[in-house]
Structures are given as C-alpha cells and as structure tokens.
C-alpha cells in the first residue's frame, strides 16, 4: 500500500466549474498536508498546506482535511485553463519524510 | 539566494560514468531534500539533510547513490557507474526546518545513454 494515493486522472472540467481533487493517506501519524501544482516540464510549486481538520481557503482554492477518514482534498473554484496541470498531494510524517502521491492531472477546457 | 538553484539543468552521460548534481538551497534553510521523478511519475524521496546530517538515507536506490552537504548549505548528489534506469529529473527542495513547506529547485534532467 502506498503512503499517499491519488487518482491519476485526467480529470476534465469545463472552464468556470469547480474541480475537486482527492487524496488519501495511510499513516494516521501524519502531521501536515500539502498540495503542489506541477506544470509539464516544471518543478512543483506549493499551492496550500493544512494542518488541522476542516477547511482552509485561499482565493479560489480550498483545502479540506479529515484526519478520521485520512482524506485530504483540494477544491478549485471558477477553474481556468491556466489551472491545467498535475496536482501533487504530499503528506509529512514525523517531521522527517514527505510522501508524495503520483499526482492527478487536471484539464480545464475553455 | 532568492530560490533553490540546481546545476546542471541538463546532463547527458554515458552508461558507467559518474555524475554529480548540485543543489544550492534558499539561504537560511536548514532542511534539504532530494527527490527523483521519472517521466510521468510522482516524486520518489531519496534523502534529506537537517544541517549537514542525513538522518534518513533509506530512499537511496542503491549504493551507487550518495549525497553530502557541507556548511549547512550546498548539497551534492553523486551517482556512480550510471545506468540507463537512472535517467530522470532530480529535484532538490529546501525548507526552513524539517516538516515545514518545501520549496523546489528547477531540477536536473539526467539522461544516461
């Protein structure tokens, strides 16, 4: 079992819609959770991080964490074609290791 | 520096040769991480440093891989006797401390012929 699981996609949404990206993790001791965006041929860039259960909003992005269900998600409101990228979920365990999922590819169609 | 830098940006080498990849983290960042990303795949953790120490080397694929960090700053990842399966993008990231947000460099694209 992988430490972090993501649906590889691609997830296709029309411009202006809400994109919902999901991630599950296996270790209940995980401390913090991150979403990175990676454009093709580029390195990952941080979008959001979340430590506590519930929702965290930043502009068009909302991260949701449910530790009981070991589930973290990223919602992108009013999706734009420029949001088309691969989204990587990362989980930090014991402040030592970061485990990354394999990423979900998002396509936002104009 | 303003961000994480890595060199070279691209490296083509012949099978069996040694290569050295360099990472210069954000100034003041004590934690430094190395990852490998094969085409279309996620990030594979290799090793991390806290200061000059590497508490966790479990991700290194084989004894051909080694890494060091000096002066709490620059790190080098060395791959000896390269194999074709070593071809990948090698990404370095740094953070202000372990567990904090990581900031990635542009990566080194390694191709072993």
Query: How many CB pairs below 8 Å do chains A and B form together?
Result: 45
CA angle A93, B72, B3 (to 5 degrees): 75
Q: Report pLDDT digits (tens) over A34-59.
A: 999 999 989 999 999 999 999 999 99
Q: What is the pLDDT of residue A95?
A: 61
Q: Is pLDDT of B69 > 60?
A: yes
Q: What is the pLDDT of residue B40?
A: 76
Q: Is pLDDT of B1 > 70?
A: no
The distance of A79 to chain B (nearest Cα, Å) reads: 23
User: Residues with Cβ < 8 Å from A17, sequence gap 6 or more?
Assistant: A79, A108
> What does the alpha-carbon distance between residue B112 and residue B19 come to, in Å, rounded to a whole number?
10
The distance of A80 to chain B (nearest Cα, Å) reads: 23
Q: Report pLDDT digits (tens) over B29-45.
A: 999 999 999 987 888 88
Which of B95, B109, B29 shows the shortest CA–CA distance to A98? B95
Query: Coil, helix or strand for B86?
Result: helix
Would the CB atoms of B101 and A34 count as touching at under 8 Å? yes
Query: Distance between alpha carbon A78 and the CA centroid of its chain, in Å?
Result: 17
Would the CB atoms of B105 and A43 count as touching at under 8 Å? yes
Shortest CA distance from A93: residue in chain B: B99
Q: For an interface test with A, give the residue of B23, B43, B45 to mutate (most A CBs within 10 A).
A: B43
pLDDT, block means (10 residues), chain A with 110 residues: 85 97 90 92 92 94 95 97 96 77 94
Residues of chain B contacting residue A42, judged by C-beta atoms under 8 Å apart:
106
Q: Is pLDDT of B2 > 90?
A: no
> What does the alpha-carbon distance between residue B50 and residue B31 come to, in Å, rounded to a whole number?
5
> What does the alpha-carbon distance between residue B25 and residue B5 come to, in Å, rounded to a whole number?
7
Would the CB atoms of B91 and A97 count as touching at under 8 Å? no
Q: Report pLDDT digits (tens) over B78-107.
A: 999 999 999 999 999 998 877 778 899 999
Residues of chain A contacting residue B91, judged by C-beta atoms under 8 Å apart:
43-44
């Amino acid at each position: 079992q992988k430490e972090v699981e993501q649906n590889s996609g691609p997830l296709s949404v029309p411009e202006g819609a809400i994109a919902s990206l999901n991630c599950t993790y296996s270790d209940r001791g995980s401390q913090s959770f991150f979403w990175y965006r990676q454009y093709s041929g580029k390195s990952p860039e941080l979008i959001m991080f979340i430590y506590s259960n519930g929702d965290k909003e930043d502009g068009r992005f909302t991260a949701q964490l449910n530790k009981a269900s070991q589930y973290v998600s990223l919602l992108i409101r009013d999706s734009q074609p420029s949001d088309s990228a691969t989204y990587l979920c990362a989980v930090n365990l014991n402040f030592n290791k970061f485990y990354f999922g394999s990423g979900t590819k998002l396509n936002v169609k104009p | 520096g303003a961000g994480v830098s890595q060199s070279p940006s691209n490296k083509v080498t012949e099978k069996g040769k040694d290569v050295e990849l360099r990472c210069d983290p954000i100034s003041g960042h004590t934690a430094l991480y190395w990852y490998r990303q094969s085409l279309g795949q996620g990030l594979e953790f290799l090793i991390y440093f806290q200061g000059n120490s590497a508490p966790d080397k479990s991700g290194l694929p084989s004894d051909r891989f080694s890494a060091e960090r000096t002066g709490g700053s620059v790190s080098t990842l060395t791959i000896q006797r390269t194999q074709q399966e070593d071809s990948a993008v090698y990404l370095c990231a740094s953070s202000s401390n372990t567990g904090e947000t990581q900031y990635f460099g542009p990566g080194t694209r390694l191709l072993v012929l």
